Amino acid sequence: MLDEVEVHCFTNAHLGGFKADYIRIVTSSRDTPEVVEGVKHLWFDYIGGDLVLKGAANLIRYLERRQIWKREAGWPVYLAGTGPYLAYTAGIVASRVEITILGAELTFQDVNGDAWWQEVILPRVRTL
């Protein structure tokens, strides 16, 4: 039986990490508080609140119905937000569900985020 939900923020000395992405967005958006609030909402309210509070079993059911943005080596990657964006993955480890926040981006260079996927998120997923 699944017991709990844990949230981790991806970090890697060579590939950067979610917290560095978050700081970059907040620093570059000081004059637009709605952007800062948007990325905070995704991290603290959506991931840290809504998803965690579902509990492990309900979270798995929710993710099974949620649209997967991309998939790599068995890792489903979900996209949250409409700008700023947050990419995360989740999986069962032992008796818990682990959510890993892979990265955050303010806007996409292309329509569907393929450049961000290729340059930032995919290399991070490959290290999981």
**Residue 112 banded pLDDT, cuts 50, 70, 90:** confident
Q: Residue 111 above 80 pLDDT?
A: no
Cα dist from 123 to 62, 96, 102, 117, 126, whole Å: 26, 25, 10, 8, 5
- pLDDT score recorded for residue 117: 97
Contacts of 38 (CB under 8 A, 6+ apart): 81, 83, 84
Q: Residue 81 above 80 pLDDT?
A: yes
For residues 39 and 87, is the Cβ–Cβ distance under 8 A? no
Q: What's the pLDDT tens digit per position in 16-25?
A: 999 999 999 9
Average pLDDT of the segment spanning 46-71: 96
**Residue 2 banded pLDDT, cuts 50, 70, 90:** confident
Q: Residue 44 above 80 pLDDT?
A: yes
The letter for the amino acid at 94 is A
Cα dist from 98 to 10, 31, 115, whole Å: 12, 34, 26
- Tell me the β-bridge partners of 95: none
Provide the pairing of β-strand 4-9 with 70-72.
Answer: unpaired
- pLDDT score recorded for residue 73: 92
**Residue 67 banded pLDDT, cuts 50, 70, 90:** very high
Three-class DSSP category at 90: strand
**Residue 3 banded pLDDT, cuts 50, 70, 90:** confident
DSSP 8-state symbol, 8: E
